[in-house]
Amino acid sequence: MALEDVLRLVHVLGATVLFGTGIGIAFFMAMAVRTRDPRIIAHVASIVVIADTVFTATAVVLQPLTGYGLARVVGWPLNEGWILLSLALYVIIGLFWVPVVWIQIRLRD
C-alpha cells in the first residue's frame, strides 16, 4: 500500500472517529443530564472523559498530522484556500471542544 493510501485511510478513519465519538458523547451526556440524577451524570461523565482521552484526543492529534502528510505527498501547497479554511475551522471547533472537556471533568468530579 502506497504512503498516500495509508495517510488517506488514517485521515478518513480519524475523521470518522472524531465525528462518531462527538455525536455519541453528546448523546450520552444529554441523556444522563435529562435524568437529573447526579450519580448517573457523574458516572456517564467519567466514561465520557475516558472516551475523549482515548479516542477524541488521539484523533485530534492524528488529523493535522495525516492532513499535512497528505498535502506533502500529493504536492498541495499548504496556503491553498481550502486547506487554510479547513485549518481555521479545525481550530475554531477545537476552541469549542476544550471548554466542553473541562465541563465534563467537573461533572465527573
Q: Whole-angstrom Cα distance, residue 17 to residue 61?
A: 12
In the chain, domain spans: 3-108
pTM of the model: 0.83
| Nearest one of 58, 74, 69, 67 to 90, comparing CA atoms | 67
More confident residue, 61 or 109: 61
Q: Whole-angstrom Cα distance, residue 109 to residue 92?
A: 27
Mind listing the pLDDT tens digit for each residue in 15-66?
Answer: 999 999 999 999 999 999 999 999 999 999 999 999 999 999 999 999 999 9
Mean pLDDT of 56-81: 95
Q: How many helices (H) and strands (E) does the chain have?
A: 4, 0
- What per-residue confidence (pLDDT) applies to 109? 86
Cα 100 versus chain centre, distance: 12
Q: Which residues contact 83 (CB under 8 A, 6 or more apart)?
A: 67, 71, 76, 77
pLDDT, mean over the chain: 94
Is residue 70 predicted with pLDDT exceeding 90?
yes
Furthest-apart CA atoms within the chain: distance in Å: 53
